[in-house]
Chain A
Amino acid sequence: MAVTCTGENRVLRAVVSGEVDHHGAKQIMGELERSINAALPRSLTLDLGEVSFMDSSGIAVILRAYRRLGELGGELKVCNIPEQAGKVLRAAGVDRLVSFE
């Protein structure tokens, strides 16, 4: 499992793990999409603490979750961002769109 979800009352926390590159992102996106569709969260926290590597493929994963939460009238937060992933997300300006904590 690349994504482990916990939560109740439409407050979801998703721990993403492994390498978020093009090779790994497809599975992550699929698992996240299924969890969002099942829980219809009004708050989603993406925990990147277990991510060992991220490239631009991860940007698309986060922006997709951001759009889905927007459609649901919910809010996306990203937390426990490792140094390398943070640098990628900041270089792409994702921090200006999504709240990091």
Chain B
Amino acid sequence: MTKPVNEAAVVFLSRSANEGFARATAACFAAQLDPTLDEVNDIKTAVSEAVTNCIVHAYPDCIGKVSMRLRLFGDNTLEIVVKDWGVGIEDVAQARQPLYTTGDETRSGMGFTIMESFMDGVKVRSAPGKGTTVTLRRRVSLRVGGGA
């Protein structure tokens, strides 16, 4: 793979207050691509889903660490890697099915479906007891006359 043009990373605790922090951080990093408001909203939504999963599912009875790495490539692609060291997922294909949830009535089982429909690529790697890594990729449109 080609080298990223820019890169940043944050690590935070699996507290729900950090959902907004992660969204804002990703939006801020993405701003250098001069995205449209719709593109920023898509990125924030997908990040919110990935990070919320770490907070809700990865660490069900404790507070753990979540990392988010943001990378920018020359073809205007943004890559966001959200990683936890929590319980992991037994069957990733099943977890990605619409409506599949192991959560309570406050979950709808649509998180992965939303990530998939808002991003160009979603990769999930997970091992039970070890943790989960979700890689989101989104190409941001080049605007005519925009950017420097």
A53 contacts the other chain (CB 8 A):
yes
**A14 smallest CB distance to B (angstroms):** 18
How large, as a class, is the contact surface on chain B? 20 to 34
**Chain B residues numbered 91-125 whose CB sits less than 8 Å from any CB in chain A:** 98, 105-108, 110-111, 113-114, 117-118
How large, as a class, is the contact surface on chain A? 20 to 34
A63 contacts the other chain (CB 8 A):
yes
Of A22, A63, A91, the residue contacting B118 (CB under 8 A) is A91
Q: Secondary structure of the A side of the interface?
A: helix
- Chain B residues with Cβ below 8 Å from A29 are 106
Chain A window 53-74, contacts with chain B (Cβ cutoff 8 Å), 1 for yes, 0 for no: 1011101100110000000000
Chain B's closest residue to A55 (CB) is B48
Of B42, B52, B118, the residue contacting A57 (CB under 8 A) is B52
Q: Secondary structure of the B side of the interface?
A: helix
In the complex, the answer to whether B52 meets A21 with C-beta atoms within 8 Å is yes
In the complex, the answer to whether B105 meets A55 with C-beta atoms within 8 Å is no
- Can you give 27 contacting A-B residue pairs, CB < 8 Å? A19-B20, A21-B16, A21-B48, A21-B52, A22-B16, A22-B55, A22-B56, A22-B106, A23-B16, A23-B19, A23-B20, A53-B45, A55-B48, A55-B49, A55-B52, A57-B52, A59-B108, A60-B108, A64-B105, A84-B41, A87-B42, A87-B45, A87-B118, A88-B45, A91-B117, A92-B113, A92-B114
